[in-house]
């Protein structure tokens, strides 16, 4: 699939290498054994962690990596950067990432999400907002600090709903004061968290639909009474939930979306290769 870029000769480029394999125990050693170079193993893990928690990848899950290749000065094939990062999991949570250039910038897009139109975010519980995002005097700690989320006052046991469809990144006890806590990953770098719950009904790695019950209001962790502490994060950074609506249009449209899908189709039509010869390792 040698392609000329900006009219430059592409003679040195050769067919990309596709490495496909199964995880026996852990992800990293599986990738290394299959012949993915160390640097690309780290890049792959970083890429898929946008969509799923790498810690939850385990036995039976399959990886699919396409690496660029070119001939070096000695005429030997040399591995280049990742062109495609795929992860197909036994729980049905799949990740398919490929790059696309949009408005002059190369970005990674997930195949399922790229053309999806999101519904607006919904309220996690029906209760009134008792505390907004911003600095405030903490009722328990007794000093002013940043309140990184929004508090909803709601009775003990009120169902808590996923504000948007996403994957459960973490679900369990949080020792940092959040009590029983869930983090959902929605794509486009957005995550939402739900804290102080009395009970959790979702588990890590699970896909939850918008409006699905993920747990119930409680007062676990650092809480004076039953309420939901809710946070919205972009690339891990807490942002004001009141100022952000989930994207209501698809990430790519028109010729970009068609081009992205054509490229993905090309990459996924490469033979499921292995790399017994490892020609790039001296
Ligand atoms: Zn709070």
Distance from the CA of 241 to the center of ligand 1, in angstroms? 12
pLDDT of 83: 95
Query: How many angstroms separate the alpha carbon of residue 229 from the centre of ligand 1?
Result: 4
What is the structure's pLDDT at 8? 43
Distance 178 CA to ligand 1 centre (A): 9
207 alpha carbon to ligand 1 midpoint, in Å?
25
State in Å: Cα 117 to ligand 1 middle.
30
pLDDT at 242: 76
Q: Which class is domain 128-243?
A: mainly beta
Instruction: Give residue 272's pLDDT.
Output: 76
Q: How far is the CA of 138 from the centre of ligand 1 (A)?
A: 9
Q: Are 93 and 48 in contact (CB under 8 A)?
A: no
pLDDT score of 117: 66
List where CATH 2.70.70.10 sits in the chain. Answer: 128-243
Q: Are 129 and 150 in contact (CB under 8 A)?
A: yes
Residues within 5 A (CB) of ion ligand 1: 151, 229
What pLDDT sits at residue 66? 95
pLDDT at 244: 62
Between the CA of 220 and the centroid of ligand 1 the distance, in Å, is 12
Segments of the chain scoring below 50 in pLDDT: 1-11, 247-248, 275-282
Give the per-residue pLDDT at 279.
36
pLDDT at 141: 75
- Give CATH 3.10.450.350 domain extents, the chain: 13-116+251-267
Q: For residue 267, how far is its CA from the centre of ligand 1 (angstroms)?
A: 45
Give pLDDT, residue 127: 78
The CATH code belonging to domain 13-116+251-267 is 3.10.450.350
242 CA distance to ligand 1 middle (Å) = 14
The predicted pLDDT at position 282 comes to 24
How far away, in angstroms, is 131 Cα from ligand 1 center?
7
């Amino acid at each position: 699939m040698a392609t000329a870029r900006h009219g430059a000769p592409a003679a040195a480029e050769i067919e990309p290498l596709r490495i496909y394999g199964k995880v026996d125990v852990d992800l990293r050693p599986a990738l290394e054994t299959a012949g993915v170079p160390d640097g690309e193993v780290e890049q792959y893990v970083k890429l898929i962690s946008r969509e799923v928690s790498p810690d939850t990848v385990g036995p039976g899950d399959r990886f699919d990596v396409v690496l660029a290749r070119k001939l070096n000065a000695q005429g030997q094939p040399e591995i280049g950067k990742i062109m495609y990062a795929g992860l197909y999991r036994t729980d049905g949570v799949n990740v398919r990432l490929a790059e696309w250039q949009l408005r002059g910038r190369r970005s990674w897009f997930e195949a399922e999400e790229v053309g999806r139109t999101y519904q607006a975010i919904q309220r996690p519980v029906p209760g009134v907002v008792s505390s907004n995002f911003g600095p405030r005097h903490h009722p328990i700690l007794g000093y002013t600090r940043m309140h990184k989320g929004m508090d909803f006052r709601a009775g003990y046991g009120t169902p808590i709903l996923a504000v948007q469809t996403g994957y459960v990144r973490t679900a369990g006890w949080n020792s940092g004061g959040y009590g029983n806590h869930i983090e959902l990953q929605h794509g486009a770098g957005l995550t939402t968290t739900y804290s102080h719950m009395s009970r959790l009904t979702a588990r890590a790695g699970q896909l939850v639909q918008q409006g699905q019950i993920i747990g119930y209001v409680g007062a676990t962790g650092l809480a004076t009474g039953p309420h939901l502490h809710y946070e919205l994060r972009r690339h891990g950074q807490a942002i004001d939930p009141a100022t952000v609506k989930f994207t209501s249009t698809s990430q790519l449209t028109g010729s970009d979306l068609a081009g992205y899908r054509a490229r993905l189709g090309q990459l996924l039509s490469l033979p499921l290769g292995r790399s017994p010869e490892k020609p790039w390792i001296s």
